Each structure stands twice: as C-alpha cells, then as structure tokens.
Amino acid sequence: MSVQKLAEACFVSSGSVLKFCQTLGISSFSLFKKMLRFTIETRRMQLAEKYKMLSVEDLKEKINVFVTSEKMVKELVFHAYQFAKHI
C-alpha cells in the first residue's frame, strides 16, 4: 500500500501519514511498513506457539489428571470417615 492510498483510506493527507510515522520515531513510510510486517509476523508466531502448547491432547491429559485427583480425594475422605466411625 502506498502513502497516498493509506491517506485516502484514513481521510487524511499524505503529509499526515508521514508525520505520524515520524511521531513514532520512524523515518519513512517504507520503514514503517517493514516494521509493521515484522511486528505482525512476530505476534503471529507468538500466538501460534501459545496455541500449539494448548493442544487437544494436552487438555485431555490435564482434565484426566484433575478427574483422577478428585476420585482419590473422595476415596481418602471415605476411608477417613470409615476409620473415624471405628474410633
């Protein structure tokens, strides 16, 4: 996208777009586009890594561990109650 097309899409002048880039500390619109592409790609990779870690199998395993732990706690409470009845 050119400076002119972005300016038209934002209903501002080309100069305003360039001034915006300079306000961000970026010397040119082409550098702004490169930095924006890099930022988007970096964020995309971060999100992909995050969601890769949350695979369906991982979630199933975590749920299974929770259910197993809950069953163990219930059994311990039952046995403790049975033991306490005999005291």
pLDDT digits 0-9 by tens, 72-86: 988 888 888 787 777
Spatial distance between the Cα atoms of 72 and 54, rounded to a whole number of angstroms: 26
pTM: 0.55
Q: How far is CA 12 from CA 7, 23, 58, 82, 86, in A?
A: 5, 16, 49, 78, 84
Q: Which has the higher per-residue pLDDT, 15 or 49?
A: 15
pLDDT of the residue at 87: 64
Determine how many CB atoms are found less than 10 A away from the CB of residue 34.
12
Q: How far is CA 51 from CA 37, 42, 43, 55, 59, in A?
A: 21, 14, 12, 7, 11
Question: At 55, is the pLDDT very low, low, confident or very high (cuts 50, 70, 90)?
Answer: confident
pLDDT at residue 25 tops 90: yes
Q: Percent of the chain, pLDDT > 90?
A: 57
CA distance between the termini of the chain = 82
Domain regions of the chain by residue span: 1-54, 55-87
